[in-house]
Amino acid sequence: MNLDLFWHYVPSLLSGFGVTVVCWSAGGALGLLLGFAIALLRRLRIPPLSWLLRAFIEVFRGTPFLMQLFLLYAGGPSIGLKLSATAAGILGLGLYSSAYFAEIFRAGFAAVPVGQIEAAVSVGMAPFDAMMRVILPAALIAAVPAIVNMLIILSKETVVLSIITVPELMYQVQTMAAETFTAFGAIFAMAVFYWLLVEAVSRLGLRLEARVTAYLAHEERAA
């Protein structure tokens, strides 16, 4: 493919990248919120509700993301849920990742030493205060590495959205490849681009992780 032809596709590639970023961040944010809500609700241990939430997690972790997308996008209209491809993609990413985030937050809560909770109660903190000042900060920080990891996995899942015609980067590349008969080169460039992106996000994630868990290293050194 000559360069002139490539320049012709630059705007659509850029807009595709924009859509990828929007889907990733919106889907990730939705997943984090939903997952956090699920983890909190599961802590209440209300029998039918916690069974339902457990089933939700098992279903969304036990089936392929692509299948969930198809169900949402193609099956949605027959249960009165008409979504654009992009909206279905974001909702799909959110639902799918919320199941994983819920488990991550659960593990985070489990990582808070019982002694700290007991100490908070014994110095007279109300349950709400103990939650806000003791349990939550420790649980969230314990969850950071796993959250970063899941967000990286999610950035790769955004590619799957191209299958339900969300106009994200992969979709634009495939369109370009089909129109210019340069599938091989285009997909190769795409692979390199994603690799760099994922590497960059991983590096950033590691730095963020090191920053928020820095106090743990101090503690270890002190101990």
Applying CB under 8 A, does 2 fall inside the site for another protein? Answer: no
Is the Cβ of residue 20 or residue 86 nearer to another protein in the bound state? 20
Radius of gyration of the chain from Cα atoms? 21
Distances (CA, A) of 44 to 12, 34, 36, 38, 99: 48, 16, 13, 10, 17
Applying CB under 8 A, does 179 fall inside the site for another protein? Answer: no
Which helix (H) or strand (E) segment is 116 a member of?
Answer: helix 114-122
Applying CB under 8 A, does 68 fall inside the site for another protein? Answer: yes
Beta carbon of residue 200, minimum distance to another protein (angstroms, whole number): 10
Beta carbon of residue 162, minimum distance to another protein (angstroms, whole number): 7
Q: Which residues, at least 6 apart from 164, have a Cβ–Cβ distance to it below 8 Å?
A: 69, 70, 73, 85, 88, 89
Is the Cβ of residue 134 or residue 167 nearer to another protein in the bound state? 167
Using CB under 8 A, count the residues that bind another protein: 34
Maximum pairwise Cα distance, the chain: 73
Dihedral, 35, 78, 73, 49 alpha carbons, nearest 10: 10
Applying CB under 8 A, does 163 fall inside the site for another protein? Answer: yes
Phi and psi at residue 214, to the nearest 5°: -60, -40
Phi and psi at residue 103, to the nearest 5°: -70, -35
- Can you tell me the distance from the alpha carbon of 138 to that of 213, in angstroms, rounded to the nearest whole number? 10
Q: Give, rounded to a whole angstrom, the gap between the first and last alpha carbons of the chain.
A: 61
Beta carbon of residue 33, minimum distance to another protein (angstroms, whole number): 24
Applying CB under 8 A, does 116 fall inside the site for another protein? Answer: no
Is the Cβ of residue 37 or residue 70 nearer to another protein in the bound state? 70
Is the Cβ of residue 6 or residue 70 nearer to another protein in the bound state? 70
Beta carbon of residue 112, minimum distance to another protein (angstroms, whole number): 21
CA atoms in the 13 A half-sphere facing the CB of 96: 30
Q: Which stretch binds another protein (CB under 8 A): 30-38, 104-112, 192-200, 206-214?
A: 192-200
Q: Would you give the DSSP letter of residue 134? A: I
Applying CB under 8 A, does 71 fall inside the site for another protein? Answer: yes
Among 6, 17, 56, 65, binds another protein (CB under 8 A): 65
Applying CB under 8 A, does 135 fall inside the site for another protein? Answer: no
Q: Could you list the residues that contact another protein (CB under 8 A)?
A: 58-59, 62-68, 70-71, 74-75, 78-79, 156-157, 159-160, 162-163, 170, 174, 183-184, 187-188, 190-191, 194-195, 198-199, 202
